[in-house]
Amino acid sequence: MNQIADRSVRSNAGRKAALGFGFAIMALGALILISFSVGRYPVSLNELWLLLWSKISGMPSGLPIAAETVVLKVRGPRLIASMIVGGSLAVSGGVYQGLFRNPLVSPDILGVSSGAALGAVLGIYFSLGVVGIQILAFAGGLSAVAAVYLIGVFLRQHDPVLTLVLAGVVIGTLLGSVVGLIKYLADPYNQLPAITFWLLGSLTGITSADVWVILPAIVLGLTPLYLLRWRMNVMTLGDEEARALGVDTRQIRLIVISAATLITAAAVSVSGIIGWIGLLIPHLARLLVGPDFGRLLPASILLGAGYLLGVDTLARTISTIEVPLGVLTAFIGTPFFIWVLARSQTGWR
């Protein structure tokens, strides 16, 4: 009897997940279409079609070169980047929430954002170009988490998860204050505004080169996460239970943290700091497809991609100036998160 009940629950969950995926994919498709056709530079659907067709057929489109640049080199890469960044942040958030068994965890819990922020701010302070700033941001994110992990390794006598979280909070705060120090020392007329803009997050000016640079790192990070999805399910039971079930928790934790950090650092290095997605989207994904990581990972990617795509479309259209992404995600995210909190009395596992 138990078996029958179990099977029916599973098929129920399967049906629910299939529905969730269908919904997410459709929403994403619709969003891509809308995002492509709106923007500050007017490009009609017809022109869009002409352009894409000319790319496929190799015939000249007869449209002004600026329109082509807008669609293929400005809006296109930006749409793709927003989906990659959104998906990445959502996945890392979901993974961390499972790993730390805490629904309030976001990808910055181990200091990756603070590290990336410090790297980027240093880059701006030393007047580096965009590439230099991105490299420093990426390296900063990785080093911050490496430092947090090493602290966790050295302080073995405590609960490993708790130590990691506490070390992450402490290192994050320290790095945040160094960022504050550099803002304080920066030229208030030139560098300070650039720093402020970066810290608020934005995808304006993203080129296809940026997309190609971050994509390998993100794929490299996603692969082990997907391969380890079953062990991740076990990890959410807690350290002792997972070990009792024969999982080398230390090893899995190291791999998962490295992978999630790689993804987040790569994403943040081009977008600047964008909060909320990593905290919010995993909850939504869990509501849609349930807590199984095999489904939760792709669902988080889809929803995160769609969410940031939508928010970024708003950011570049609702005003004549660019609205910082960090501000928009917070404005949309806060009420949404309260709603999720109110209704997710049920477990987050």
Partner 1 sequence: MGPAGCFASDKKRKGVILSMYVGERLMLEGNTISEHRHGISVSVFLALAFLATATWAVDKRIVVDSAGRRIEVPAKIERVFAAGGPASVFLYTLAPEKLLGWTSPLTAEERAYIPAPYARLPTLGRLTGRGNTTNVEVVLASRPDVILDYGTINPTYISLAERIQKQTGVPYLLFDGAFDQIATTYRSAGAALGVSDSAEQLSRYTERLLADVDKRLARIPAKSRPLVYYARGPRGLQTGLKGSINVESIERIGARNVAAERIGQGSLVSVSPEQVLMWNPQIVITIESAFATVAGSDEIWKSVIAVRSGHVYTAPTLPFPWLDSPPSVNRLIGLKWLGRVLYPELFTDDLRAETRTFYGLFYHKVPDEQQLNELLSGPGRSR
Residues that bind partner 1 (CB under 8 A): 39-42, 65-66, 69-70, 73-75, 124, 127-130, 133, 183-185, 187-190, 192-194, 197, 202, 204-205, 207-209, 316, 320-322, 324
Name the DSSP letter for residue 91: H
How many Cα atoms occupy the beta-carbon half-sphere of 326 within 13 Å? 14
Angle between helices 249-271 and 208-227 (to 10 degrees): 160
Closer of 67 and 280 to partner 1 (Cβ):
67
Closer of 24 and 137 to partner 1 (Cβ):
137
Closer of 39 and 103 to partner 1 (Cβ):
39
Minimal distance, residue 142 CB to partner 1, in Å: 21
Spatial CB neighbours of 156, under 8 Å, sequence gap ≥ 6: none
Spatial CB neighbours of 327, under 8 Å, sequence gap ≥ 6: 200
Minimal distance, residue 67 CB to partner 1, in Å: 9
Minimal distance, residue 321 CB to partner 1, in Å: 4
Closer of 204 and 344 to partner 1 (Cβ):
204
Residue 303, CA distances (Å) to 107, 113, 225, 286, 298 in order: 16, 21, 17, 11, 9
Closer of 260 and 268 to partner 1 (Cβ):
268
Minimal distance, residue 314 CB to partner 1, in Å: 12
Closer of 77 and 87 to partner 1 (Cβ):
77
Q: Which amino acid is at 198?
A: W
Minimal distance, residue 171 CB to partner 1, in Å: 25
Residue of 56, 151, 107 whose CA lies nearest to 276? 107
Instruction: Spell out a b/e string for 219-229, using b for 16 or more CB atoms within 10 Å of the CB, else e.
Output: eebbebbeebb
Minimal distance, residue 192 CB to partner 1, in Å: 6
